[in-house]
């Protein structure tokens, strides 16, 4: 039986903190992708795309446990991205073992191939752009992040079809719907005013890292 790539990736990442997963068929992907990023250019024969994200503080807490072990990751310019890449590699290994060809993308600063993870999130039903330039998840609101995606030459599960939490919302995050299109920055305060997903709020040091990586890395290096 041919492996279902969505399930292969889900099993590989179980317990890692990368806890959101969805997929869609290749025709939907190719209809949205620019020519240079279509499947015939990146992985001829691909049949779908699998997209993964992390919600809440679980992934960060696993990273922080790692930072307590010598020598620690602090000499890396982007230590959290490097940690996430290592976790994503578990799915690479599982796909390879299942005989599934793949092409991986990362939602990281140093990613060699830049794809629109916002578009990928919409395609697979993980979330939709909110009024403050972040993708909003039905359950986790703004307290989640896209981490990786794989073009695969195997069957995948169909996309999710959750409700869109911003439709009909009074938008307290940006001070009302009249401000939804003026480019409000996604500050921690703005994210905290979203009425969806506050149970998934990041830890304070995770929030600090995302908004001032260099200063947070320096502080965590001294506190280890």
pLDDT score of 97: 97
Residue in the structure block whose two tokens are 């993708």 = 135
Question: In the chain, helix, strand, coil percent, each to 5?
Answer: 40, 15, 40
What is the total count of domains within the chain?
Answer: 1
- What pLDDT is attached to residue 133? 84
Predicted structure pTM score: 0.93
Query: Which residues of the chain, if any, have pLDDT below 50?
Result: none
Q: What is the pLDDT of residue 127?
A: 96
Q: 35-71 burial, b if ≥16 CB within 10 A, otherwise e? A: eebbbeeebeebbbbbbbbbbbbebbebbbeebeeee
Using the structure block, give the residue that is written with the tokens 């947070």. Answer: 216
Residue 61 confidence (pLDDT): 96
Q: Mind listing the pLDDT tens digit for each residue in 76-89? A: 778 999 999 999 99
Q: Which domain holds residue 191?
A: 5-223
Rg (CA), the chain: 18
pLDDT number for residue 222: 66
Structure confidence at residue 69 (pLDDT): 76
The pLDDT of residue 219? 78
Q: Residue 17 is part of a domain; what is its CATH number?
A: 3.40.109
């Amino acid at each position: 039986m041919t492996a279902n790539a969505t399930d292969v990736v889900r099993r590989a990442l179980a317990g890692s903190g990368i806890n959101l997963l969805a997929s869609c068929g290749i025709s939907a992907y190719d209809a949205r992708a620019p020519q240079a990023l279509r499947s015939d250019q990146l992985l001829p024969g691909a049949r779908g795309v699998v997209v993964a994200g992390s919600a809440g503080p679980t992934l960060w807490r696993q990273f922080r446990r790692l930072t307590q072990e010598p020598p620690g990751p602090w000499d890396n310019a982007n230590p959290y991205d490097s940690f996430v890449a290592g976790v994503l590699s578990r799915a690479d290994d599982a796909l390879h073992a299942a005989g599934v060809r793949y092409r991986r993308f990362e939602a990281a600063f140093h990613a060699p191939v830049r794809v629109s993870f916002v578009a990928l999130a919409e395609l697979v039903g993980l979330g939709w752009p909110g009024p403050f330039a972040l993708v909003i998840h039905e359950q986790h609101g703004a307290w989640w992040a896209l981490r990786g995606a794989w073009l695969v030459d195997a069957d995948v599960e169909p996309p999710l079809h959750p409700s869109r939490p911003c439709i009909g919302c009074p938008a307290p995050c940006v001070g009302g719907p009249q401000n939804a299109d003026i480019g409000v920055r996604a500050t921690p305060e703005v994210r905290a005013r979203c009425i969806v997903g506050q149970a998934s709020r990041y830890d304070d040091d995770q929030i600090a890292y995302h908004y001032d990586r260099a200063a947070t890395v320096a502080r965590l290096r001294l506190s280890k």
